[in-house]
Amino acid sequence: MKLYAADLISRATVSSARVLITLSAAAIAVERYDLNTVQWEFAGRSIQPEHFREIAIVVLLYSAVSLCVHWYADYVSYTKWFKEAKVGVDDLLSLGEHEDTLADLVGRITLLRKSLEETAI
């Protein structure tokens, strides 16, 4: 989802939400239609119905935690990091004072030009 050409929700958040919905629907279908009455064979091992419930709960909890982590990362990045369009001055790697982006860009280009002139000599 985009707002003013900026992503509001990252791909990781969308995909983790999709995984959680799909796994939840599958677990509900298995329980609702009683598809878990016989043991399942998986990777050469048999899984008992009561073990399936435990495994399903763990996988669903992991997917829910994954969604929460991705959502929180989106929240932090879009509300805290991208709040201001300002960059440092005085040096290409400066972390000091801030000023407007356009003025800083002009300063950086001037600094880059001086650096190139000094190295060309």
What does the pLDDT read at residue 105?
76
How many CA atoms lie less than 13 Å away from 54 in the CB half-sphere?
5
| Mean per-residue pLDDT over the chain, rounded | 80
What does the pLDDT read at residue 97?
56
18-69 confidence digits (pLDDT tens): 999 999 999 999 888 888 777 878 888 888 888 888 989 999 999 999 999 9
95-116 confidence digits (pLDDT tens): 555 556 677 778 778 888 888 8
Question: From residue 22, how far is each of 10, 18, 31, 65 by CA, in Å?
Answer: 19, 6, 14, 15
